[in-house]
Structure 1
Amino acid sequence: MNNVSTIEFHAGSKEELLPGFESDFTYIASRAELDKFTERFVPWHWHKAVELFYIESGLLEYCTPKGKVLFPAGSGGMVNSNILHMTRPLTQLDKNIQFLHIFDAAFIAGQPGSRIEQKYITPITAASQLEVIALYPDNAAHTQVLDTIRSSFQLSDKDFGYEIKLRSVLSDIWLQLLSITKPLLEEKNASNKINDKIKMMMIYIHDNYMKKLTISEIAAASYSSERECFREFHDNLHMTPVEYIRNYRIQMACHMLARSRESITNIGHACGFESSSHFGKVFREYIGCTPLEYRRKMAG
């Protein structure tokens, strides 16, 4: 299991990059140390793989375009395939630790078009109304699946038959989730095209954050008007396009400060800031320290 405290993106698609996710074994397990993420939150992202998780300690908030869901210690859930989401810890009194299984649904579905995929997998992954499945220990119907999720992280890749045991337990969890969500799956729900529009605009920002950006350019990336651009960012990401651009630039700056020896001036310029003084001012507003202090902190 990998300890993670940062997030990276694929070039082109801008989905989350999942280190260790291989074509012959489309699965990774992670222990997320949420307090160590830049600005203490995991920025907006998505991935084709589903995300099954358990909250070991702290209090975590999941945000999607449809709203927010809180997960205290002992709870857990699943984020569906290709769902735009961000997370942040809401307590500083305890460590905020999350365990995650991230896997392609084909890992348990088998061959594309199989009876297993059609009967058990697609009903969940194709349900746009199921962005996040929340499980709580005070709900009797959720207790068993939470126990199974928690114990599943005790599997070791050193054990004989690990891959088969893992697929078996994930299949068991999936069946329990299918049973719990059956009433929601029977609801009719229109396809969420806004999710795709937001992704297209985010991809444009990710590809061009180092340059001067205009709202009209961002809007055009999703064939929207400037007014639609503002509304979609506000309604779905709860921030303006400009705020998102600044957030992303700061994330990239933090990554470069921690992992490269480039000068602070060059990093500021590479991340789209007009001057060193502007970079320093915005960085302090978002991170609470200067770029140099941040670099020293990460080096220590």
Structure 2
Amino acid sequence: MLQPCELSKNPRQMELRPHGTAEFPCGGYDTAVRQEEGGIAWHWHEEAEMLFVTEGMVQVCLPDCHWSLKTGEGAFINANVLHSLQAEGEGGRVRSAVFHIRLISGGSDTVFYRKYVSPLMEYSGIKGLRLSPEEEWQKSMLEEVRRTTALLEEREEGYEWEVRSSLSRFWSILYSNTRPKAAETQRQSIDAQRLRKMLELIWKEYSHPLGLEQIARAANIGQRECLRCFQRTIGVSPLQYLLRYRVSQAAALLRETDLPVAEIGIRCGFDDPSHFAQTFRKYFLLTPSAYRKGRV
């Protein structure tokens, strides 16, 4: 069965709940959005999200727009975009899939990422999109949302292949109907190339000591431009992203392995166990040991 969306976030509104697993980063949810429960509070995550309303009415809120959705309508919310879900009238219910883009891109060095994903994901060109069944191409996207959540609910043998295929079709339709013009993305293209190199360094070397200078050097730019590049694209500093990535990898190991907590800290770049515990608690509001117990 699909689980309800239950938020755990840090003071910067970043959601800390992992979606899926490190090997298959996609989670499916079935959530009631009720006025008395406060809806789904403002938050953001590194993953993209697609949803549709199965009953009642729900308002999807982004910083610069609000969409009132009735049964059968849906929305796409891009990665790293602040958003919330509020009840309209008596409220409603939504089914959603939250997925990391690497599941369909195959990594940042592929044609899929460079040509189709990066122009839409890394920047604010498209923060989100209301999906109406009255628009033929959006109707097709809604069908993929329904298909994806059904696959995540049933989890039959081979469902991972089918989910990946459905997400790819969803993104292909999105790209075909919203892709920006080349002239509008020249600055973004430069940032995309730089960001890709810096993120690849972080993903590969996060378990080792890393500083701002090393991260900037990966893209052959200065430290100030490195800071600006991260702020322009994903809205956090390089070291904030590195810390968040280390903690998220530690959370995955706590859920999926029986490794000692201290060893997990070392594997994720924390030499001091007390520093690891303190940092983990800052993000998850639990110690690593309590987090592991809560996931059993």
Shorter-chain TM band: 0.5 to 0.7
Give 3-state SS (helix, strand or coil) of 1:6's partner.
coil
Give 3-state SS (helix, strand or coil) of 1:136's partner.
strand
Give me the whole-angstrom Cα distance separating, in 2, the residues matched to 1:291 and 1:127: 34
Q: Tell me if the contact between 2:74 and 2:142 (Cα under 8 Å) persists in the aligned partners.
A: no
Taking structure 1 as reference, are residues 96 and 251 closer, same or farther at Cα in structure 2, changes over 3 Å only?
farther
Q: Identify the residue that residue 117 of structure 1 maps to in structure 2.
A: none
Deviation at 1:261, TM superposition (A): 0.8
Identity of aligned residues (%): 17
Letter in 1 for 2:214: E
Q: Deviations over 1:99-152 (max 9, x none)?
A: 4899979xxxxxxxxxxxxxxxxxx94994795484425x79x64444333345
Q: Deviations over 1:193-230 (max 9, x none)?
A: 10121121111111111111111111111111111111
Q: Tell me if the contact between 2:80 and 2:234 (Cα under 8 Å) persists in the aligned partners.
A: no
Q: Identify the residue that residue 43 of structure 1 maps to in structure 2.
A: 46
Q: Tell me if the contact between 1:136 and 1:143 (Cα under 8 Å) persists in the aligned partners.
A: no
Number of matched residues? 232
Taking structure 1 as reference, are residues 60 and 294 closer, same or farther at Cα in structure 2, changes over 3 Å only?
farther
Q: Tell me if the contact between 2:77 and 2:127 (Cα under 8 Å) persists in the aligned partners.
A: yes
Higher Rg: 1
Deviation at 1:18, TM superposition (A): 5.5
Q: Deviations over 1:219-249 (max 9, x none)?
A: 1111111111111122222222221111011
Q: Identify the residue that residue 212 of structure 1 maps to in structure 2.
A: 209
Letter in 1 for 2:141: I
Q: Identify the residue that residue 98 of structure 1 maps to in structure 2.
A: 96
Q: Identify the residue that residue 33 of structure 1 maps to in structure 2.
A: 29
Give me the whole-angstrom Cα distance separating, in 2, the residues matched to 1:247 and 1:127: 21
Give me the whole-angstrom Cα distance separating, in 1, the residues matched to 2:93 and 2:81: 15
- Where do 5+ consecutive residues of structure 1 fail to align? 9-16, 20-29, 45-50, 80-84, 106-123
Match of 1:265 among 262, 267, 270: 262
Q: Identify the residue that residue 14 of structure 1 maps to in structure 2.
A: none
- Where do 5+ consecutive residues of structure 2 fail to align? 4-17, 32-42, 106-114, 157-161
Taking structure 1 as reference, are residues 71 and 88 closer, same or farther at Cα in structure 2, changes over 3 Å only?
farther
Q: Identify the residue that residue 240 of structure 1 maps to in structure 2.
A: 237
Residues 61-100 of structure 1: pairs in structure 2 closer than 5 A = 74-77=73-76, 85-86=79-80, 90-91=84-85, 97-99=95-97
Give 3-state SS (helix, strand or coil) of 2:202's partner.
helix
Give me the whole-angstrom Cα distance separating, in 2, the residues matched to 1:254 and 1:278: 15
Give 3-state SS (helix, strand or coil) of 2:80's partner.
strand
Give me the whole-angstrom Cα distance separating, in 2, the residues matched to 1:5 and 1:205: 20
Deviation at 1:181, TM superposition (A): 4.5
Give 3-state SS (helix, strand or coil) of 2:196's partner.
helix
Letter in 1 for 2:287: T
Letter in 2 for 1:43: E
Deviation at 1:189, TM superposition (A): 4.4
Q: Identify the residue that residue 140 of structure 2 maps to in structure 1.
A: 148
Q: Tell me if the contact between 1:60 and 1:96 (Cα under 8 Å) persists in the aligned partners.
A: no
Letter in 2 for 1:136: R
Q: Identify the residue that residue 273 of structure 2 maps to in structure 1.
A: 276
Deviation at 1:281, TM superposition (A): 1.1
Q: Tell me if the contact between 2:207 and 2:266 (Cα under 8 Å) persists in the aligned partners.
A: yes
**Alignment TM-score, normalising by the size of structure 1:** 0.57
Q: Tell me if the contact between 2:280 and 2:288 (Cα under 8 Å) persists in the aligned partners.
A: yes
Letter in 2 for 1:244: Y
Q: Tell me if the contact between 2:28 and 2:97 (Cα under 8 Å) persists in the aligned partners.
A: yes
Give 3-state SS (helix, strand or coil) of 2:46's partner.
strand
